[in-house]
Structure 1
Protein backbone atom coordinates (compact mmCIF):
# COMPACT_ATOMS: atom_id res chain seq x y z
CA UNK A 1 0.00 0.00 0.00
CA UNK A 2 1.51 3.31 -1.06
CA UNK A 3 1.32 6.30 1.21
CA UNK A 4 0.47 9.57 -0.47
CA UNK A 5 1.72 12.79 1.04
CA UNK A 6 -1.10 15.03 2.18
CA UNK A 7 -1.64 18.05 0.00
CA UNK A 8 -0.68 21.30 1.81
CA UNK A 9 -3.62 23.26 3.11
CA UNK A 10 -4.29 26.82 2.00
CA UNK A 11 -3.01 28.05 5.36
CA UNK A 12 0.19 26.04 5.00
CA UNK A 13 0.73 27.36 1.47
CA UNK A 14 0.21 30.93 2.66
CA UNK A 15 2.67 30.42 5.50
CA UNK A 16 5.30 28.99 3.16
CA UNK A 17 4.77 31.84 0.72
CA UNK A 18 5.32 34.42 3.46
CA UNK A 19 8.46 32.62 4.60
CA UNK A 20 9.87 32.65 1.06
CA UNK A 21 9.09 36.34 0.64
CA UNK A 22 10.71 37.26 3.95
CA UNK A 23 13.88 35.30 3.18
CA UNK A 24 14.06 36.69 -0.36
CA UNK A 25 13.63 40.24 0.94
CA UNK A 26 16.29 39.75 3.61
CA UNK A 27 18.69 38.21 1.07
CA UNK A 28 18.34 41.13 -1.34
CA UNK A 29 18.61 43.85 1.30
CA UNK A 30 21.54 42.28 3.13
CA UNK A 31 23.41 41.89 -0.15
CA UNK A 32 22.77 45.50 -1.13
CA UNK A 33 23.31 47.28 2.19
CA UNK A 34 24.93 44.88 4.67
CA UNK A 35 23.23 43.60 7.80
CA UNK A 36 23.83 46.81 9.79
CA UNK A 37 22.30 48.93 7.04
CA UNK A 38 18.98 47.08 7.05
CA UNK A 39 16.08 47.22 9.50
CA UNK A 40 13.44 44.59 10.15
CA UNK A 41 10.85 47.15 9.03
CA UNK A 42 12.55 47.41 5.64
CA UNK A 43 12.59 43.64 5.31
CA UNK A 44 8.90 43.45 6.26
CA UNK A 45 7.99 46.21 3.80
CA UNK A 46 9.85 44.52 0.94
CA UNK A 47 8.25 41.16 1.79
CA UNK A 48 4.83 42.85 2.05
CA UNK A 49 4.16 41.56 5.57
CA UNK A 50 3.68 43.24 8.93
CA UNK A 51 6.68 43.43 11.26
CA UNK A 52 4.78 41.33 13.78
CA UNK A 53 4.32 38.67 11.10
CA UNK A 54 8.05 38.75 10.30
CA UNK A 55 8.90 38.07 13.94
CA UNK A 56 6.77 34.93 13.85
CA UNK A 57 9.17 33.57 11.23
CA UNK A 58 12.42 34.88 12.70
CA UNK A 59 12.96 36.26 16.20
CA UNK A 60 15.62 38.73 15.10
CA UNK A 61 17.47 40.23 12.16
CA UNK A 62 20.47 38.07 13.11
CA UNK A 63 18.41 34.91 12.67
CA UNK A 64 17.37 36.05 9.21
CA UNK A 65 20.99 36.71 8.30
CA UNK A 66 21.99 33.24 9.50
CA UNK A 67 19.21 31.63 7.47
CA UNK A 68 20.29 33.51 4.33
CA UNK A 69 23.99 32.84 4.86
CA UNK A 70 23.41 29.16 5.63
CA UNK A 71 22.22 28.70 2.05
CA UNK A 72 25.40 30.30 0.69
CA UNK A 73 27.61 28.47 3.20
CA UNK A 74 26.12 25.09 2.29
CA UNK A 75 26.72 25.68 -1.44
CA UNK A 76 30.31 26.79 -0.77
CA UNK A 77 31.08 23.72 1.33
CA UNK A 78 29.61 21.44 -1.31
CA UNK A 79 31.80 23.07 -3.96
CA UNK A 80 34.94 22.77 -1.82
CA UNK A 81 34.36 19.13 -0.95
CA UNK A 82 33.75 18.33 -4.62
CA UNK A 83 37.13 19.89 -5.48
CA UNK A 84 38.83 17.69 -2.88
CA UNK A 85 37.12 14.57 -4.22
CA UNK A 86 38.69 14.97 -7.68
CA UNK A 87 42.14 16.11 -6.54
CA UNK A 88 45.04 13.87 -7.68
CA UNK A 89 46.61 11.90 -4.85
CA UNK A 90 49.97 13.58 -5.52
CA UNK A 91 48.69 17.04 -4.52
CA UNK A 92 50.01 18.14 -1.09
CA UNK A 93 47.55 18.21 1.79
CA UNK A 94 47.79 21.98 2.22
CA UNK A 95 46.65 22.52 -1.36
CA UNK A 96 43.69 20.20 -0.99
CA UNK A 97 42.63 21.86 2.25
CA UNK A 98 42.88 25.24 0.48
CA UNK A 99 40.71 23.84 -2.33
CA UNK A 100 38.08 22.97 0.28
CA UNK A 101 38.33 26.37 1.94
CA UNK A 102 38.51 28.66 -1.09
CA UNK A 103 34.75 28.69 -1.87
CA UNK A 104 34.04 29.10 1.85
CA UNK A 105 36.32 32.12 2.18
CA UNK A 106 34.90 33.58 -1.05
CA UNK A 107 31.44 33.11 0.44
CA UNK A 108 32.11 34.95 3.70
CA UNK A 109 34.04 37.72 1.89
CA UNK A 110 31.38 38.30 -0.76
CA UNK A 111 29.85 40.84 1.62
CA UNK A 112 32.46 41.12 4.43
CA UNK A 113 30.12 42.56 7.05
CA UNK A 114 27.54 39.85 6.50
CA UNK A 115 30.15 37.09 6.52
CA UNK A 116 31.82 38.42 9.63
CA UNK A 117 28.52 38.80 11.49
CA UNK A 118 27.40 35.34 10.38
CA UNK A 119 30.50 33.60 11.72
CA UNK A 120 30.34 35.59 14.95
CA UNK A 121 26.70 34.64 15.47
CA UNK A 122 27.42 30.96 14.88
CA UNK A 123 30.16 30.94 17.51
CA UNK A 124 28.57 33.13 20.17
CA UNK A 125 24.82 32.81 19.59
CA UNK A 126 22.35 30.34 21.04
CA UNK A 127 23.31 26.92 19.59
CA UNK A 128 19.76 25.66 20.14
CA UNK A 129 18.19 28.23 17.81
CA UNK A 130 17.23 26.31 14.69
CA UNK A 131 19.10 28.40 12.12
CA UNK A 132 22.27 28.54 14.22
CA UNK A 133 22.03 24.81 14.75
CA UNK A 134 21.86 24.30 11.00
CA UNK A 135 24.90 26.55 10.58
CA UNK A 136 26.86 24.63 13.19
CA UNK A 137 26.00 21.38 11.40
CA UNK A 138 27.45 22.91 8.23
CA UNK A 139 30.61 23.81 10.14
CA UNK A 140 30.88 20.18 11.25
CA UNK A 141 30.59 19.11 7.61
CA UNK A 142 33.41 21.48 6.71
CA UNK A 143 35.58 20.11 9.50
CA UNK A 144 34.83 16.58 8.34
CA UNK A 145 35.92 17.42 4.80
CA UNK A 146 39.15 18.99 6.03
CA UNK A 147 39.84 15.98 8.24
CA UNK A 148 39.34 13.60 5.32
CA UNK A 149 41.68 15.67 3.16
CA UNK A 150 44.37 15.54 5.84
CA UNK A 151 43.98 11.78 6.17
CA UNK A 152 43.95 11.08 2.45
CA UNK A 153 46.56 13.54 1.22
CA UNK A 154 48.63 14.15 4.35
CA UNK A 155 48.53 10.56 5.61
CA UNK A 156 47.61 11.84 9.05
CA UNK A 157 45.97 9.49 11.52
CA UNK A 158 42.21 9.96 11.92
CA UNK A 159 42.21 11.24 15.50
CA UNK A 160 44.93 13.80 14.87
CA UNK A 161 43.36 14.83 11.56
CA UNK A 162 40.07 15.52 13.38
CA UNK A 163 41.81 17.80 15.87
CA UNK A 164 43.79 19.57 13.14
CA UNK A 165 40.58 20.13 11.17
CA UNK A 166 39.10 21.95 14.15
CA UNK A 167 42.24 24.06 14.44
CA UNK A 168 42.11 24.95 10.74
CA UNK A 169 38.43 25.83 10.96
CA UNK A 170 39.25 28.10 13.91
CA UNK A 171 41.96 29.76 11.81
CA UNK A 172 39.40 30.51 9.11
CA UNK A 173 36.88 31.90 11.62
CA UNK A 174 39.42 34.16 13.30
CA UNK A 175 40.98 35.31 10.03
CA UNK A 176 37.61 36.12 8.50
CA UNK A 177 36.21 37.97 11.53
CA UNK A 178 39.25 39.82 12.92
CA UNK A 179 39.00 43.58 12.41
CA UNK A 180 42.61 43.75 11.26
CA UNK A 181 41.75 41.62 8.22
CA UNK A 182 38.59 43.45 7.16
CA UNK A 183 40.25 45.28 4.27
CA UNK A 184 41.94 42.16 2.90
CA UNK A 185 40.68 40.66 -0.32
CA UNK A 186 39.63 37.02 -0.36
CA UNK A 187 42.86 36.17 -2.21
CA UNK A 188 45.05 37.89 0.40
CA UNK A 189 43.11 36.27 3.21
CA UNK A 190 43.53 32.84 1.62
CA UNK A 191 47.28 33.44 1.25
CA UNK A 192 47.52 34.19 4.96
CA UNK A 193 45.39 31.15 5.82
CA UNK A 194 47.64 29.02 3.57
CA UNK A 195 50.71 30.07 5.57
CA UNK A 196 49.01 29.23 8.85
CA UNK A 197 47.78 25.84 7.64
CA UNK A 198 51.17 24.98 6.22
CA UNK A 199 52.76 25.80 9.57
CA UNK A 200 50.21 23.69 11.45
CA UNK A 201 50.69 20.57 9.34
CA UNK A 202 54.33 21.09 8.25
CA UNK A 203 55.87 18.77 10.87
CA UNK A 204 53.79 15.98 9.34
CA UNK A 205 54.69 16.61 5.71
CA UNK A 206 56.75 18.53 3.23
CA UNK A 207 56.81 22.32 3.13
CA UNK A 208 58.39 22.44 -0.30
CA UNK A 209 56.79 24.97 -2.66
CA UNK A 210 53.93 23.46 -4.61
CA UNK A 211 54.58 23.22 -8.36
CA UNK A 212 52.24 25.34 -10.44
CA UNK A 213 51.01 22.26 -12.29
CA UNK A 214 49.76 20.77 -9.02
CA UNK A 215 47.96 23.98 -8.05
CA UNK A 216 46.35 24.11 -11.49
CA UNK A 217 45.04 20.58 -10.95
CA UNK A 218 42.73 21.99 -8.26
CA UNK A 219 41.57 25.06 -10.15
Structure 2
Protein backbone atom coordinates (compact mmCIF):
# COMPACT_ATOMS: atom_id res chain seq x y z
CA UNK A 1 0.00 0.00 0.00
CA UNK A 2 1.59 3.34 -1.03
CA UNK A 3 2.45 5.91 1.61
CA UNK A 4 0.18 8.90 2.02
CA UNK A 5 1.68 12.01 0.28
CA UNK A 6 1.60 14.01 3.52
CA UNK A 7 3.58 11.29 5.30
CA UNK A 8 6.18 11.24 2.52
CA UNK A 9 6.44 15.03 2.68
CA UNK A 10 6.89 14.88 6.41
CA UNK A 11 9.65 12.30 6.04
CA UNK A 12 11.40 14.44 3.41
CA UNK A 13 11.10 17.49 5.63
CA UNK A 14 12.53 15.62 8.60
CA UNK A 15 15.42 14.41 6.45
CA UNK A 16 16.08 17.97 5.28
CA UNK A 17 15.98 19.30 8.84
CA UNK A 18 18.33 16.55 10.02
CA UNK A 19 20.75 17.28 7.19
CA UNK A 20 20.72 21.02 8.00
CA UNK A 21 21.43 20.31 11.65
CA UNK A 22 24.39 18.13 10.65
CA UNK A 23 25.66 20.80 8.24
CA UNK A 24 25.37 23.61 10.78
CA UNK A 25 27.04 21.52 13.47
CA UNK A 26 29.88 20.61 11.13
CA UNK A 27 30.30 24.19 9.93
CA UNK A 28 30.40 25.53 13.45
CA UNK A 29 32.90 22.92 14.65
CA UNK A 30 35.27 23.59 11.75
CA UNK A 31 34.88 27.34 11.31
CA UNK A 32 35.07 28.04 15.04
CA UNK A 33 38.26 25.99 15.25
CA UNK A 34 40.00 26.95 11.99
CA UNK A 35 38.36 30.17 10.76
CA UNK A 36 35.98 30.98 7.94
CA UNK A 37 38.54 31.44 5.18
CA UNK A 38 40.43 28.20 5.87
CA UNK A 39 37.49 25.81 5.97
CA UNK A 40 36.18 24.40 2.69
CA UNK A 41 32.71 23.17 1.80
CA UNK A 42 34.28 19.82 1.02
CA UNK A 43 35.57 19.56 4.59
CA UNK A 44 32.22 20.64 6.02
CA UNK A 45 30.37 18.06 3.93
CA UNK A 46 32.77 15.33 5.00
CA UNK A 47 32.31 16.26 8.67
CA UNK A 48 28.53 16.16 8.14
CA UNK A 49 28.85 12.73 6.50
CA UNK A 50 27.53 13.78 3.10
CA UNK A 51 28.89 14.61 -0.33
CA UNK A 52 29.77 18.16 -1.31
CA UNK A 53 27.11 18.09 -4.03
CA UNK A 54 24.54 17.21 -1.37
CA UNK A 55 25.67 20.17 0.72
CA UNK A 56 24.86 22.51 -2.14
CA UNK A 57 21.35 21.11 -2.34
CA UNK A 58 20.74 22.59 1.10
CA UNK A 59 22.81 25.81 1.01
CA UNK A 60 23.84 27.98 -1.90
CA UNK A 61 27.32 28.82 -0.64
CA UNK A 62 29.78 28.55 2.22
CA UNK A 63 28.99 32.17 3.04
CA UNK A 64 25.29 31.46 3.42
CA UNK A 65 26.05 28.52 5.69
CA UNK A 66 28.32 30.68 7.81
CA UNK A 67 25.82 33.54 8.01
CA UNK A 68 23.16 31.09 9.15
CA UNK A 69 25.34 29.58 11.88
CA UNK A 70 26.84 32.82 13.16
CA UNK A 71 23.47 34.53 12.89
CA UNK A 72 22.16 32.09 15.47
CA UNK A 73 24.90 33.32 17.85
CA UNK A 74 23.78 36.90 17.20
CA UNK A 75 20.16 35.89 17.80
CA UNK A 76 21.09 34.43 21.20
CA UNK A 77 22.62 37.76 22.23
CA UNK A 78 19.47 39.58 21.08
CA UNK A 79 17.31 37.13 23.06
CA UNK A 80 19.39 37.67 26.22
CA UNK A 81 19.15 41.44 25.93
CA UNK A 82 15.41 41.34 25.18
CA UNK A 83 14.87 39.19 28.27
CA UNK A 84 16.97 41.56 30.38
CA UNK A 85 14.90 44.48 29.13
CA UNK A 86 11.65 42.65 29.88
CA UNK A 87 12.89 42.06 33.43
CA UNK A 88 13.50 45.81 33.84
CA UNK A 89 10.17 46.99 32.44
CA UNK A 90 8.49 46.96 35.83
CA UNK A 91 11.22 49.12 37.38
CA UNK A 92 9.86 52.68 37.50
CA UNK A 93 12.68 53.96 39.66
CA UNK A 94 15.64 53.83 37.31
CA UNK A 95 18.36 56.41 37.77
CA UNK A 96 18.80 58.94 34.97
CA UNK A 97 21.79 57.11 33.50
CA UNK A 98 20.36 53.59 33.70
CA UNK A 99 19.01 53.62 30.15
CA UNK A 100 22.40 54.58 28.74
CA UNK A 101 24.07 51.91 30.84
CA UNK A 102 21.60 49.34 29.52
CA UNK A 103 22.47 50.29 25.92
CA UNK A 104 26.18 50.06 26.65
CA UNK A 105 25.78 46.74 28.51
CA UNK A 106 23.85 45.33 25.56
CA UNK A 107 26.64 46.25 23.17
CA UNK A 108 29.21 44.86 25.57
CA UNK A 109 27.43 41.51 25.37
CA UNK A 110 27.45 41.73 21.58
CA UNK A 111 31.14 42.64 21.70
CA UNK A 112 31.80 39.44 23.66
CA UNK A 113 31.15 37.57 20.42
CA UNK A 114 34.06 39.48 18.91
CA UNK A 115 36.40 38.63 21.77
CA UNK A 116 35.52 34.94 21.42
CA UNK A 117 35.56 34.75 17.61
CA UNK A 118 37.26 37.89 16.22
CA UNK A 119 37.68 36.66 12.65
CA UNK A 120 34.15 35.31 12.50
CA UNK A 121 32.64 38.47 14.00
CA UNK A 122 34.56 40.54 11.46
CA UNK A 123 33.35 38.32 8.61
CA UNK A 124 29.74 38.55 9.79
CA UNK A 125 29.86 42.35 10.00
CA UNK A 126 31.58 42.61 6.63
CA UNK A 127 29.41 40.12 4.74
CA UNK A 128 25.97 39.90 6.32
CA UNK A 129 24.51 43.16 5.03
CA UNK A 130 25.94 42.74 1.55
CA UNK A 131 24.35 39.37 0.89
CA UNK A 132 21.21 39.42 -1.26
CA UNK A 133 20.22 35.82 -0.49
CA UNK A 134 17.42 34.79 1.84
CA UNK A 135 19.97 33.83 4.47
CA UNK A 136 21.72 37.16 4.10
CA UNK A 137 18.44 38.98 4.57
CA UNK A 138 17.96 37.04 7.80
CA UNK A 139 20.96 39.00 9.11
CA UNK A 140 18.95 42.17 8.52
CA UNK A 141 16.08 40.66 10.50
CA UNK A 142 18.43 40.07 13.45
CA UNK A 143 19.60 43.67 13.13
CA UNK A 144 16.00 44.93 13.02
CA UNK A 145 15.23 43.09 16.27
CA UNK A 146 18.37 44.59 17.79
CA UNK A 147 17.39 48.11 16.72
CA UNK A 148 13.84 47.63 18.00
CA UNK A 149 15.20 46.59 21.40
CA UNK A 150 17.53 49.58 21.69
CA UNK A 151 14.84 51.98 20.48
CA UNK A 152 12.45 50.66 23.13
CA UNK A 153 15.05 51.29 25.85
CA UNK A 154 15.65 54.86 24.70
CA UNK A 155 11.94 55.53 24.16
CA UNK A 156 11.32 54.48 27.78
CA UNK A 157 14.02 56.90 28.89
CA UNK A 158 12.46 59.69 26.86
CA UNK A 159 8.92 58.95 28.06
CA UNK A 160 10.02 59.07 31.70
CA UNK A 161 11.98 62.31 31.12
CA UNK A 162 15.25 60.60 31.99
CA UNK A 163 16.64 61.28 28.52
CA UNK A 164 16.35 64.16 26.09
CA UNK A 165 16.33 62.73 22.56
CA UNK A 166 14.97 64.33 19.39
CA UNK A 167 15.42 61.30 17.11
CA UNK A 168 15.59 57.87 18.79
CA UNK A 169 16.16 55.79 15.61
CA UNK A 170 19.05 58.05 14.56
CA UNK A 171 20.69 57.62 17.96
CA UNK A 172 20.40 53.83 17.68
CA UNK A 173 21.82 53.86 14.15
CA UNK A 174 24.76 55.95 15.36
CA UNK A 175 25.40 53.48 18.19
CA UNK A 176 25.48 50.58 15.77
CA UNK A 177 27.73 52.50 13.41
CA UNK A 178 30.18 52.85 16.30
CA UNK A 179 30.00 49.09 16.94
CA UNK A 180 30.55 48.20 13.27
CA UNK A 181 33.42 50.65 12.97
CA UNK A 182 35.07 49.31 16.11
CA UNK A 183 34.90 45.74 14.76
CA UNK A 184 36.38 46.82 11.42
CA UNK A 185 38.99 49.08 13.02
CA UNK A 186 40.07 46.45 15.53
CA UNK A 187 40.57 43.96 12.72
CA UNK A 188 42.34 46.36 10.32
CA UNK A 189 44.62 47.82 13.00
CA UNK A 190 45.26 44.47 14.69
CA UNK A 191 44.22 45.95 18.04
CA UNK A 192 44.14 43.72 21.13
CA UNK A 193 41.04 41.53 20.89
CA UNK A 194 40.30 41.46 24.62
CA UNK A 195 40.30 45.28 24.73
CA UNK A 196 37.57 45.68 22.14
CA UNK A 197 34.60 45.75 24.60
CA UNK A 198 36.25 48.50 26.64
CA UNK A 199 37.09 50.54 23.53
CA UNK A 200 33.49 50.19 22.41
CA UNK A 201 32.13 51.11 25.85
CA UNK A 202 34.26 54.27 25.94
CA UNK A 203 33.05 55.45 22.53
CA UNK A 204 29.40 54.69 23.26
CA UNK A 205 29.46 56.49 26.60
CA UNK A 206 31.02 59.56 24.97
CA UNK A 207 28.29 59.48 22.34
CA UNK A 208 25.35 58.96 24.71
CA UNK A 209 25.96 60.66 28.05
CA UNK A 210 24.91 64.09 26.75
CA UNK A 211 21.37 62.68 26.36
CA UNK A 212 20.90 62.36 30.13
CA UNK A 213 18.71 65.09 31.58
CA UNK A 214 20.51 66.99 34.30
Is TM-score (shorter-chain normalized) higher than 0.5? Answer: yes
2:212 is aligned to: 205
Q: CA deviation at 1:121?
A: 0.9
Q: CA deviation at 1:182?
A: 4.4
Q: 2:143 aligns with which of 136, 139, 144?
A: 139
Equivalence map 1:133-212=2 (5 Å): 133-153=137-157, 154-157=162-165, 160-178=167-185, 179-180=187-188, 182-186=190-194, 188-205=195-212
Q: Is 1:22 aligned with 2:23?
A: yes
For residues 195 and 35 of structure 1, the distance between their equivalents in structure 2, rounded to whole angstroms, comes to: 29
Residues 27 and 79 of structure 1: CA distance in aligned 2, closer, same or farther (over 3 Å):
same
Residues 94 and 194 in structure 1, CA contact (< 8 A), matched pair in contact too: no
Q: Is 1:92 aligned with 2:93?
A: no
Poorly superposed stretches of 4+, deviation over 6 Å: none
Residues 80 and 101 in structure 1, CA contact (< 8 A), matched pair in contact too: no
2:39 is aligned to: 38
Structure 2 gap segments, 5+ residues each:
1-5
For residues 202 and 55 of structure 2, the distance between their equivalents in structure 1, rounded to whole angstroms, comes to: 44
For residues 133 and 166 of structure 1, the distance between their equivalents in structure 2, rounded to whole angstroms, comes to: 18
Offset from partner CA, 1:80-119 (integer Å, 9 cap, x none): 2323343452143321101222221112332111111011
SS of the equivalent of 1:9 reads helix
Q: Is 1:54 aligned with 2:60?
A: no
Equivalence map 1:117-132=2 (5 Å): 117-126=123-132, 129-132=133-136
Offset from partner CA, 1:51-99 (integer Å, 9 cap, x none): 1111121111111110001111100111123233434521433211012
Residues 92 and 10 of structure 1: CA distance in aligned 2, closer, same or farther (over 3 Å):
closer
- Report the TM-score when normalising by structure 1: 0.81
Structure 1 gap segments, 5+ residues each:
1-5, 208-219
Q: Is 1:106 aligned with 2:117?
A: no
Residues 84 and 100 in structure 1, CA contact (< 8 A), matched pair in contact too: no
Residues 25 and 46 in structure 1, CA contact (< 8 A), matched pair in contact too: yes
Alignment length, in residue pairs? Answer: 198
Residues 24 and 69 in structure 2, CA contact (< 8 A), matched pair in contact too: yes
RMSD over aligned CA atoms reads: 2.2
SS of the equivalent of 1:37 reads coil
- Report the TM-score when normalising by structure 2: 0.83
Q: CA deviation at 1:198?
A: 2.1
